[in-house]
A and B are shown apart, each in its own frame.
Chain A
Amino acid sequence: MTGFLIILVSSIFVNNFVLARFLGLCPFMGVSKKIDTAIGMGAAVTFVMAVAAMVTWVIQYFILAKFGIEYLQTIAFILVIASLVQLVEMVIQKTSPVLYQSLGIFLPLITTNCAVLGLAVLNIQVGYSFLESVIFAIGAALGFTLAMVLMAGIRERVDLGPVPKCFQGLPIAFLTAGLMSLAFMGFAGLVKG
C-alpha cells in the first residue's frame, strides 16, 4: 500500500511529467490560457493515460515480449495509443454528448501527446506491475493536470499585467514555466529513487 502511495506522490510532485520530466509541453503551453480548458484537458489526459497504461502493459508483456520484438516498442505503442484515443472519442461522442462537448476537442490533441507515450515507455523501463503502472498513470496525469491548472491561473493574471512587448505571449509563458519548474525542484529528494 505504501508502495502505491510513494508512486503516486513521486509522479505527481517529485517527477512531475511537465515540470520535472518536460513531457507534454505542447498542450501545457497551448491549452493553459484559461483554467476551465486546463481542467478539461487534464481530465481528458487522466482518462486516456489510465487506459493507455493498461493497454500498453498488456501489449508489451503478452505480444512484444512473447515474440521477442521489444525493439518495436515505440512504434507499437504509438499505433495502439492513437487507435485507442480515436476509439474513445467515437464511443464518447455516441454515448455521452455532454462529456464529448467538454472533453471532445481535447481528445485529438492527446493522440500524439508525448506524455502519454512517455508514460507507457517509463512503465516498462521501471518494470512496474499492471496495478502499479495504472497507479503511476493516474499520478502522472494528476501531476500534469496540477501543472496545467497552476499555469492557467498564473497566465490569466499575467494577461492583465503590463508585459513588455518582447515578452508578450509565449515568451512570458515559457519564463513562467521555467520558474514553476524551479519551484517543483524543491520536491526533489522527497521520495527515494
Chain B
Amino acid sequence: MIGAVLSLGGIGFLAAVILGFASKKFAVEVDPKEEAILNALPGANCGACGYPGCSGYAKAVASGQVDPSLCTPGGKAVVEKIAQIMGVEAVVADPMVAVVCCQGDNEKAKDKYKYLGVQDCITAQMLAGGPKDCPGGCLGLGTCVAACPFGAIEITPQGLAVIDREKCTGCKKCVSVCPRKVIKMTPKSATVHVLCNSHDKGPMVKSYCKIGCIGCQLCKRTSPEVYEVENFLASVKYDTYDAEQAIAGMEKCPTKCIRDFAAGYPEGSTFKS
C-alpha cells in the first residue's frame, strides 16, 4: 500500500519536476501585445487580412510592420481597440463589401443547356463553361452561399446570388470561390453599382440577357465623373463616387443594369435596404 503510493507519487513528482523545469528552460517568449490583439480580434479566422487566421495577423500587427486596420469583419470597433493596444492612431478605411455584379436570373438570362449535375458553381463551370449563355453571369448554384462564414448571401427563387450589404464583412471568401469572378468588392458607402459582368458587345449581350450592360456609354456621357466604359462594360469609378451623379447616370441606363441598393435589392431577395 505505502509502496504503491510512494512509487506512483514518485513517478508523478518526477514528471512534475521535469515538466516544471522544461517549461522554464523551453519557454517561448510571446509578445504580450500579440495576445491582447488576438483577444481583440473577432476570431473568425476568415483570412480577409491576408494572413493565415487571426493569430497570424495578431503576430504581424504586434511586430509593428502591419497596418492595424486590415481586419474587415471586426470593423471600426476592433481597429480602434488594436490601435489602442499598439499606441497608434486609428485610421478607419471605408469598409468594403461584396456585390454580385449580375442581375441575369432565370427569367432574364438565357441558358445554353439544362444543367442537372451537382449543385455547385465550380462543377457546373467545368461543363462547357457553365449552363448560362452569358460568359460572366451568376450561375446561382450557391457555391458562394456555402463559402460565406457570415450567412450574408442568399439565392433568390429566380436563381441569382444576392449579398446583404449589412451582414457582409468584406472577407472576400465568395470572391475567391466564384468560378465566374462575378462578385466584386465595393466601398460600403457607395450604393449604386453596375450589375453586369459581360464584356461582350451590345447585340451579343442583348441576345442572351434582358438586363445586361450593352456598352452604350449613356451613363458615362451623363456622369463622366462616376462612370467609365471599358470593353463594352460600364463600371463605377469608386474613387470619385458621387451619389447624385451616380443616380443621374443610372436613370439614363436603357437596360436598367445599374442598380441603387439604397432603393432595394434585386427581385426575390429577402434582404432589406
Contacts and interface: CB of A to CB of B under 8 A. Distances in A.
Nearest to A66: B7
A72 interface: yes
Interface residues of A, number: 22
A178 to B, nearest CB: 25
Given A67-B3, A83-B18, A94-B26, A72 B118 contact: no
A59 B8 CA distance: 11
A69 B16 CA distance: 21
Contact of B7 (A69, A80, A93): A69
Interface in A72-122: 72, 75-76, 79-80, 83, 86-87, 90-91, 93-95
B8 A72 contact: yes
A59 B15 CA distance: 12
A33 B263 CA distance: 44
Interface string A42-81: 0000000000000000010001100111001001100110
A72 B22 contact: no
30 contacts: A63-B11, A64-B7, A67-B3, A67-B4, A69-B3, A69-B4, A69-B7, A69-B8, A72-B4, A72-B7, A76-B8, A76-B11, A79-B8, A79-B11, A79-B15, A80-B11, A80-B15, A83-B15, A83-B18, A83-B19, A87-B18, A90-B22, A90-B23, A91-B22, A91-B26, A93-B26, A93-B28, A94-B28, A161-B118, A162-B118
Given A79-B12, A90-B22, A94-B27, 16 more contacts: A59-B11, A67-B4, A67-B7, A68-B3, A69-B3, A69-B7, A72-B7, A79-B8, A83-B15, A83-B16, A83-B19, A91-B26, A93-B26, A94-B28, A160-B120, A161-B118
Interface of B: 3-4, 7-8, 11-12, 15-16, 18-19, 22-23, 25-28, 118, 120, 123
